[in-house]
Amino acid sequence: MNKKTIKDIDWQGKKALVRVDFNVPLSAGHITDDARIVAALPTINYLLEHGAAVILMSHLGRPKDGQPDPKFSMKVTADHLGTLIQAPVTFVTGVTGPAVESAAKALQPGEVLVLENTRFDPRETKNDRSLAQELASLADYFVNDAFGSAHRAHASTTGVAEFLPTAAGFLMEKELEYLGSALEDPKRPFIAILGGAKVSDKIGVIEALLEKVDTILIGGGMANTFLASQGYPMGKSLVENDVLGIAAGLMEKGAAIIQLPVDLRVASTFAADAENKIVSVEDVPADWMALDIGPATIAHYANNLSGAKTVIWNGPMGVFEFPVFAQGTVAIAEMLASLRNAITIIGGGDSAAAVRQAGLEEKMSHVSTGGGASLEFLEGKELPGVAALNNRE
């Protein structure tokens, strides 16, 4: 990676404006998974230990029309961060403005200030230069450690880089190194596992990976569309009829690379307690729906994976929120956890959640914090938040 990192800067007495990804899941005002906050700790602690005052900014949730909404306030993340680090953490109500400027000016080395949700300012998603300038005026350097937001050209991810010298945080560096080396110089066999609901979300990724990987294993709802494109009856399963032609074209192009399920766990209704059974892909009943891959497919995919040296996984194999339809996803996670001398990279989003749910996160080489960003990176797109960072001399 040719981008400057926080190790390239003398932080003594400097203020660091750090874009983190604290877009954590909430339930009734409580954080249900703090993985993204924990992932930012190495960067935050390094800056504090090297004499910097740290100003953190992030978005949280999807507040409507850039309007403040108490349920998406960053205060909950600031309070939680205060329990994870040995440093004073202050929260300020505002993204910019006099109160923020005053709090930033008073901030001392070794202290942390958390700004309010960047999306409470409608200028954020428009990458408005005035907001970027106001944010940049708070600090000496801009650090981007929010890989999960690197595919967004927003004021807090790219705009501020116009007005401050920049560096990548440790998480950003780690994401780019793992994903970059997997794509540029993978150890082989190199296998991609793609799941999730829709083929349409991953057309570009599949096309890009067909040029790089040895095998692609398909699961989840997107497998239904691929199977339907090959003439299999899919009953009431989720099928994207408008991309059947594209799916058929991908199958033709990747005939030697793309593997589809050979059996499925089907259900009578979309429910956790639905009546379910295993059927061959030729035998999906007309009024049933496929909600997971079946045991023969699990065995077939495990056989493919057994000798893999590099694996990238993005998207669950079924409706993993329902335990009975999580078996394919958990089996794949366990298979990856058992691989020896292999690099296993889990794309963000549901795949990362599934691995954490299975308690196998520590067994993977890298669990990405970026769902959409990981997909765009795998597709070969330049991420605006990465492009905006300064290169090493």
Closest CA to 34 of 82, 92, 68, 97: 82
DSSP 23: -
User: In the chain, pLDDT over 70 holds for what percent of residues?
Assistant: 99
- Taking residues 52-60, what's their average pLDDT? 98
Give yes or no on whether 6-171 and 178-378 have one common fold.
yes
Model confidence pLDDT, tens digit, residues 356-378: 888 999 999 999 888 788 888 88
Model confidence pLDDT, tens digit, residues 274-333: 999 999 999 999 999 999 999 999 999 999 999 999 999 999 999 999 999 999 999 999
Asked if residue 198 has pLDDT above 80, the reply is: yes
| Per-residue tokens: 63 | 């507040």
Q: How far is CA 313 from CA 179, 193, 240, 256, in A?
A: 11, 5, 22, 19
Model confidence, pTM? 0.89
Asked if residue 206 has pLDDT above 80, the reply is: yes
**Which residues sit opposite 366 in a β-bridge?**
345
Asked if residue 15 has pLDDT above 80, the reply is: yes
Positions marked catalytic: 36, 198, 349, 372
Asked if residue 217 has pLDDT above 80, the reply is: yes
* Distance between CA atoms of residues 39 and 61, nearest Å: 18
Residue extents of the structural domains in the chain: 6-171, 178-378
* Distance between CA atoms of residues 241 and 198, nearest Å: 11
Q: How far is CA 368 from CA 57, 172, 247, 283, 291, in A?
A: 20, 10, 27, 37, 25
Exposed / middle / buried, residue 135 (Cβ in 10 Å: 0-12, 13-18, 19+):
buried
Asked if residue 350 has pLDDT above 90, the reply is: no
Q: What is the mean pLDDT of the chain?
A: 95
Model confidence pLDDT, tens digit, residues 22-45: 999 999 999 998 989 999 999 999
Asked if residue 211 has pLDDT above 90, the reply is: yes
Contacts of 184 by beta carbon, 8 Å cutoff, 6+ apart: none
Task: Answer whether 289's CB lies under 8 Å from 270's CB.
Answer: yes
- What DSSP element (H or E) covers 46? helix 35-49
> What values do phi and psi take at 47, rounded to 5?
-60, -45
6-171 carries CATH number 3.40.50.1260: yes
178-378 carries CATH number 3.40.50.720: no
| Per-residue tokens: 197 | 């609901």
Asked if residue 393 has pLDDT above 80, the reply is: no
**Residues 171, 40, 346, 187, CA torsion sign:** positive
Closest CA to 368 of 359, 381, 377: 377
